[in-house]
C-alpha cells in the first residue's frame, strides 16, 4: 500500500474544530508560538531540521510544563537521502549506586535529575544537517523569554497544577510563580534569566552548557542540595546516532528509536495486531479496539520486563521483533475475551512533540521532555533552567536492565515515530503523554496506514489507554455502545476524562500528500499545524 492507492478519509465525524492543513512546508507543534518560530526559520531559508530545532528551542520557553533546557530529547528524521535516529537522553551521575536507591529513585528534587541531553541534540542536528547558523535558531525563543509571551490556556492549567506540587522545590517559585502564583491564560510571562542562558548556549555552540559556565552553575546547585550531579557528569555526556528499529506493516514500515526508550512496545504491538483480523473491522469498531488493547498489553509487558539501558539488556531489541516470537505472542490474543498478561501500571508524563517538513523532502520527528510535568521541579539559580526527573525511570530491582546505577541511561517514555513506504519517507508523527506514547503510536499508525484517515481525523478520534490488568481508560467521547461492547468482552473500562486532560496525550502528524504534505494537530493541546 502507498499513498497513491488509498484516498485519505477526512475528519468531520469526530467532534473537533480543526481541519487538516495542506502545504509544501509544514510545522506542527503543541504550542502556536513555537510552531510559528519554526515557520519563520523555514521562511528565512532554513530547512526542516533548522525549523524543528527552532521550534524545540522555543518550546523550552513557552511550554515549560513539558520541557526545558534541562530536558532530554530523541529524533528521527529524513535528511533528503537517509533516515537518521538520534538518542540524546542523558545518563545517571557517575556517583549513583544501586544501594543508594534501594527504595527507588524519587520523582522530585535533585536526586531525580540525570544529565540533560536536549542541548546536545540541538547541537548535533544543526552541525550535521542544518542549513542556517546555530545561533539564528535561538532568536524567537530568546525574544519570548526576554520580552514575554502570553501563556496559552492548556499550558496555564498544567502550570497551576505543577505549582501546587512543586512550589517548595529549590528555585521553582522564584522562577515560575511571579506574584506567588502560576500565570493565568493570557497573562504575560517573562524569563530573562532563561534568555541569557539561551544566548550563552547559542554563542558557544552548546559548550557553556556541558563544559562551561552553565555546567558549573548546575553543579553548584546540585551540591547545595546534597546531590551528586557534577560538571564531570555534564562534560562526559554524548548523544548517539543510533539509527532506528522497525516493523513492516502492509507496505509501510514503522520506525522507532532503539531502547532505552519504549518505542519497541509500539513495534511489538503493531506486529501482534497485524497477526489478528484487525483489517476485517472499521477503525471505531469495538472488536478493532479490543484487538489493539490485547496486543498492547503484551507489548507493554515485554517492554517492562526487558527494556532499559541497552548496555545492560540481556539481548538486542531485534529478539523481540522476529516473526516467530511475534507469532507465539499473537497466539495469546483471545478475540472473545480480555486477557491479563501482567502489563505494569503507567505513570504520568510531561513532554512536547513537534514535527516539521520542507519542500525539498526533509521530514523531522522530534520529542523533548522533562518527564513529569515540570520534571524534578528544581531550577538552577540565575539561569531559568529547570531540570528533568528522568532518574525516576530507573527501577529498584537489582539486575533489571533498567536498574539504577552509575552512568546508566534510564528507561524512557518519550518516543518519536516515523513511517516509510518502501524505504521512502511517508509520515513523521508522535503522541505525547508518558505511557500513552507507544499506545498512541499504535492508534495513529492503524488509523492512517490501515484505515486511511488523514492526520487530523486520526488525531481527533477518541482514544483508549491500557492501565493495568484488564483496566482500560477511554475518553469521554468514546460512544456508550463501544464501551458496553468492550465491557462485554471482559474489559474493566473507566471513562478517563475530557479531551483537555493530558492523560490521552497530544498528537502531531505530518504526512506526504501529492506535491506537499497534510498535517494534523491535537485539539487536546494548545498547538496547531501551519505551513506555506
Confidence at residue 344, expressed as pLDDT on a 0 to 100 scale: 41
pLDDT at residue 500, as a whole number:
39
CA distance 292 to 346: 17
Q: 186-221, pLDDT tens digit by residue?
A: 999 999 999 999 999 999 999 999 999 999 999 999
Compute φ and ψ for 268, nearest 5 degrees: -60, -50
Res 435: pLDDT? 81
**Residue in the structure block whose three cell numbers are 528555585:** 171
* The predicted structure's pLDDT at residue 17: 72
Whether pLDDT at 1 is above 50: no
**Reported pTM:** 0.94
Q: By C-alpha distance, which of 146, 132, 128 is closest to 43?
A: 132
> For 428-444, what is the mean pLDDT?
93
- The average pLDDT across 412-420 equals 94
> Given 204, 244, 351, 421, which residue is catalytic?
351
37 Cβ contact partners less than 8 Å away, ≥ 6 residues apart: 54, 55, 57, 58, 140, 141
Query: What number of other Cβ atoms are within 10 A of residue 1's Cβ?
Result: 13
Asked about 97 being catalytic, the answer comes back as: no
460-497 as b/e, with b when 16 or more CB fall inside 10 Å?
A: bbbbbbbbebbbbbbbebbeeebbebbeebebebeebe
C-alpha 432 chain-centroid distance: 5
What's the CA gap between 321 and 332, in Å, rounded?
16
Mean pLDDT over residues 502-528, rounded? 91
CA distance 44 to 47: 9
Handedness of CA 204, 210, 215, 218 (dihedral sign): positive
Q: How many CB atoms lie within 10 A of CB 411?
A: 23
pLDDT over 90 at 81, yes or no:
yes
Q: 91 to each of 229, 336, 405, how far by Cα in Å?
A: 10, 44, 9
Residues comprising the chain, all counted: 532
Q: Which helix (H) or strand (E) holds 400?
A: none
pLDDT tens digits for 452-469? 999 999 999 999 999 989
Residue 225 CA to residue 228 CA, distance in Å, equals: 9
Amino acid at each position: 500500500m502507498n499513498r497513491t492507492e488509498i484516498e485519505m478519509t477526512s475528519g468531520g465525524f469526530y467532534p473537533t474544530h480543526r481541519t487538516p492543513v495542506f502545504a509544501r512546508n509544514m510545522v506542527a507543534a503543541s504550542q502556536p508560538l513555537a510552531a510559528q518560530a519554526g515557520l519563520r526559520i523555514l521562511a528565512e531559508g532554513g530547512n526542516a531540521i533548522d525549523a524543528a530545532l527552532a521550534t524545540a528551542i522555543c518550546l523550552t520557553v513557552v511550554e515549560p510544563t513539558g520541557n526545558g533546557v534541562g530536558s532530554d530529547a530523541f529524533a528521527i528524521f529524513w535528511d533528503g537521502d537517509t533516515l537518521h535516529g538520534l538518542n540524546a537522553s542523558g545518563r545517571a551521575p557517575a556517583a549513583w549506586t544501586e544501594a543508594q536507591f534501594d527504595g527507588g529513585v524519587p520523582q522530585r528534587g535533585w536526586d531525580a535529575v540525570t544529565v540533560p541531553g536536549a542541548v546536545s541534540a540541538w547541537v548535533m542536528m544543526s552541525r550535521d544537517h542544518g542549513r542556517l547558523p546555530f545561533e539564528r535558531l535561538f532568536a524567537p525563543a530568546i525574544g519570548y523569554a526576554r520580552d514575554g509571551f502570553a501563556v496559552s490556556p492548556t499550558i496555564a492549567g498544567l502550570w497551576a497544577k505543577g505549582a501546587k506540587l512543586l512550589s517548595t522545590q529549590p528555585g521553582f517559585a522564584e522562577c515560575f510563580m511571579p506574584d506567588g502564583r502560576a500565570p493565568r491564560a493570557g497573562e504575560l510571562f517573562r524569563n530573562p534569566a532563561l534568555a541569557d542562558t539561551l544566548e550563552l548556549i547559542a554563542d558557544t555552540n552548546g559548550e557553556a552548557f556541558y563544559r562551561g559556565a552553565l555546567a558549573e552553575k548546575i553543579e553548584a546547585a546540585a551540591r547545595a542540595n546534597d546531590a551528586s550531579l557534577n560538571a564531570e557528569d555534564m562534560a562526559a555526556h554524548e548523544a548517539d546516532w543510533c539509527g532506528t528499529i522497525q516493523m513492516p506493516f502492509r507496505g509501510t514500515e514503522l520506525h522507532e528509536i532503539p531502547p532505552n526508550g519504549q518505542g519497541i512496545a509500539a513495534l511489538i504491538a503493531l506486529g501482534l495486531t497485524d497477526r489478528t483480523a484487525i483489517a476485517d473491522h472499521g477503525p471505531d469498531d469495538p472488536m478493532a479496539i479490543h484487538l489493539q488493547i490485547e496486543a498492547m498489553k503484551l507489548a507493554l509487558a515485554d517492554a517492562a520486563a526487558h527494556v532499559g539501558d541497552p548496555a545492560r539488556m540481556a539481548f538486542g531489541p531485534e529478539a523481540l521483533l522476529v516473526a516467530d516470537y511475534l507469532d507465539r505472542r499473537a497466539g495469546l490474543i483471545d478475540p472473545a475475551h480480555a486477557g491479563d498478561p501482567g502489563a505494569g501500571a503507567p505513570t504520568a508524563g510531561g513532554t512536547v512533540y513537534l514535527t516539521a517538513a520542507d519542500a525539498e523532502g526533509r521530514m523531522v520527528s522530534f520529542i523533548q521532555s522533562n518527564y513529569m510535568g515540570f520534571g524534578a521541579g528544581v531550577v538552577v539559580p540565575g539561569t531559568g533552567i529547570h531540570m528533568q526527573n528522568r532518574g525516576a525511570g530507573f527501577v529498584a530491582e537489582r539486575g533489571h536492565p533498567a536498574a539504577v546505577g552509575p552512568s546508566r541511561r534510564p528507561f524512557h517514555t518519550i518516543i518519536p515515530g516515523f513511517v516509510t513506504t518502501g524505504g521512502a519517507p511517508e509520515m513523521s508523527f508522535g503522541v505525547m503523554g508518558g505511557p500513552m506514547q507507544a499506545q498512541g503510536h499504535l492508534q495513529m499508525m492503524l488509523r492512517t496506514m490501515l484505515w486511511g484517515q488523514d492526520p487530523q481525523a486520526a488525531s481527533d478520534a477518541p482514544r483508549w489507554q491500557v492501565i493495568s490488568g484488564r483496566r482500560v481508560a477511554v475518553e469521554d467521547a468514546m460512544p456508550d455502545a463501544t464501551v458496553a461492547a468492550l465491557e462485554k468482552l471482559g474489559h474493566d473500562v473507566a471513562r478517563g476524562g475530557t479531551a483537555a486532560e493530558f492523560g490521552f496525550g497530544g498528537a502531531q502528524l505530518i504526512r506526504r500528500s501529492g506535491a506537499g504534505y497534510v498535517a494534523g494537530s491535537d485539539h487536546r493541546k494548545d498547538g496547531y499545524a501551519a505551513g506555506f
